[in-house]
Amino acid sequence: MIKIIIVDDHAIVRSGLINLFKLTADCETVGEASDGNMLLSLLNPENLPDLILLDISMPGANGIEITKQLKMLFPNLIVLILSMHIESQVAAKALKAGANGYITKDSNPEKLLEAIRKVVSTGRYLDPLIAEQLAFNAVMPMSNNSIKSLSQRELEIFHLLSNGISMNNIAQSLNISYKTVTTHKYRLMEKLNIATMKELYQFAMENSDLVINPSP
């Protein structure tokens, strides 16, 4: 029996996964958490689960940062990232942080179960589409980070984010929806080959001469 702890800030996602594993003969949910702190409180060094099924986008520390913490505390703990991010750059950063596998949330249940079984048995799994992107990028590397690749709206949101303005406040100040701000954020981070907000702030600091306040 594969013992799994599910980490996702959306209760409906956790519930769906728990129900899936109840119908699966060789998988069992032994815990659930909505963020990294809750996860760490669940872990017992004397009785670790076989697998941590971990989201990336969560309040507080994101999945990449949590993975780094887990691997420092429990090097042999298997971490499978289950994320909405389909960008190979994000997957690469998760793997570099120590994740054993990466699969996207648009995968069907059978594919997720296959990933779980494979990563537990072999210690690694990579979503085929992500693997294809990584292989392609290895042959034709992406260009360096470039502010010039951003659209006017993305540049505007980048400037606000890099100055510590919250997503909700950005949405209000630009009179657009929170979802639209999120979409622009994901796109600009993809263009800049940046996976975390920490890296976004660092990039802004290192390129302060380029991060100017866009004209209204």
pLDDT of residue 113 exceeding 90: yes
pLDDT over threshold 60, residue 211: no
Task: Give domain limits for the chain.
Answer: 2-139, 147-206
pLDDT given for residue 136 in this prediction = 60
Q: Which residue has the higher pLDDT, 138 or 115?
A: 115
Note the pLDDT tens digit of each residue in 67-102. Answer: 999 999 999 999 999 998 877 778 888 999 999 999
**Which is the CATH superfamily of the domain at 2-139?**
Response regulator (3.40.50.2300)
pLDDT score recorded for residue 189: 81
Q: Identify the architecture of domain 147-206 in CATH.
A: Orthogonal Bundle (1.10)
The DSSP annotation for the chain comes to -EEEEEE-S-HHHHHHHHHHHHT-TTEEEEEEESSHHHHHHH--TTS--SEEEE-SS-SSS-HHHHHHHHHHH-TT--EEEEES---HHHHHHHHHHT-SEEEETTS-HHHHHHHHHHHHHHS-EE-HHHHHHHHHHHHSPPPPP-GGGS-HHHHHHHHHHHTT--HHHHHHHHT--HHHHHHHHHHHHHHTT--SHHHHHHHHHHTTTT------
**Per-residue pLDDT tens digits for 10-64:** 999 999 999 999 999 999 999 999 999 999 999 999 999 999 999 998 888 889 9
